[in-house]
């Protein structure tokens, strides 16, 4: 039985975030839609269970839009991912954002299922956008489930509208 808690990222989390992102995404930064994000410098939420950190979401607010830059759960299917999404939805709405959005990769069927079941809708495909990340760090040609890893898929949720 999981008994996790969600708290905002604090100033002591920086080194852990950099290492965690490196372990999960192959570099201390996220490269997406031709931008580089240093997650340790972003606001976010940490899921904890006791002393252990079991999940991280980082985000960036620009011009009333809130982008989820990273989302990782170390405790699959226990509600951690959903809890982190709920936390950023609240933070974005409280900051006056009208839109919550993110990109994921074309091979990430798990994420596409997860986000759509939580109220996100597909917006667009950035074809071959993964090449940008490949120029900066090692990104495999073949991704999850043997799918060629090529494109970014953008999803969004308009805040204030009914969501699952």
Ligand X SMILES: CC(C)(COP(=O)(O)OP(=O)(O)OC[C@H]1O[C@@H](n2cnc3c(N)ncnc32)[C@H](O)[C@@H]1OP(=O)(O)O)[C@@H](O)C(=O)NCCC(=O)NCCS
Q: Cβ distance 156 to 115 under 8 Å? A: no
Binder among 71, 87, 133, 139 for ligand X (CB under 6 A): 71
Binder among 60, 79, 137, 151 for ligand X (CB under 6 A): 79
Task: Give 39's strand partners.
Answer: none
Binder among 23, 64, 82, 131 for ligand X (CB under 6 A): 82
Contact region for ligand X (CB under 6 A) — 3-11, 90-98, 109-117, 120-128? 109-117
Binder among 13, 67, 100, 104 for ligand X (CB under 6 A): 104
Residue 80 Cβ vs ligand X, minimum distance, rounded to whole Å: 4
Q: Cβ distance 154 to 65 under 8 Å? A: no
Binder among 5, 7, 98, 117 for ligand X (CB under 6 A): 117
Q: Cβ distance 9 to 38 under 8 Å? A: no
Pairing of strands 35-38, 65-73: unpaired
Q: Cβ distance 69 to 61 under 8 Å? A: no
DSSP secondary structure of 91-112: HHHHTT-SEEEEEEETT-HHHH
Residues touching ligand X, count (CB under 6 A): 19
Answer yes or no whether residue 78 interacts with ligand X by CB under 6 A: yes
| Residues forming the site for ligand X (CB under 6 A) | 71-73, 75-82, 102, 104, 108, 110-111, 113-114, 117
């Amino acid at each position: 039985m999981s008994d996790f808690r969600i708290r905002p990222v604090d100033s002591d989390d920086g080194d852990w975030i950099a290492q965690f992102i490196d372990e999960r995404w192959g570099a201390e930064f996220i490269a997406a839609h031709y931008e580089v994000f240093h997650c340790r410098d972003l606001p976010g939420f940490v899921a904890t269970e006791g002393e252990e950190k079991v999940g991280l979401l980082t985000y960036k607010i620009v011009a009333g839009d809130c982008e989820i830059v990273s989302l990782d759960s170390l405790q699959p299917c226990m509600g951690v991912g959903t809890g982190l999404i709920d936390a950023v939805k609240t933070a974005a709405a409280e900051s006056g954002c009208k839109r919550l959005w993110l990109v994921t990769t074309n091979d990430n069927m798990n994420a596409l299922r997860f986000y759509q079941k939580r109220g996100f809708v597909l917006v667009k495909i950035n074809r071959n956008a993964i090449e940008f990340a490949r120029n900066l760090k090692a990104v495999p040609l073949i991704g999850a489930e043997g799918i060629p890893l090529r494109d970014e898929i953008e999803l969004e949720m308009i805040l204030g509208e009914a969501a699952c």
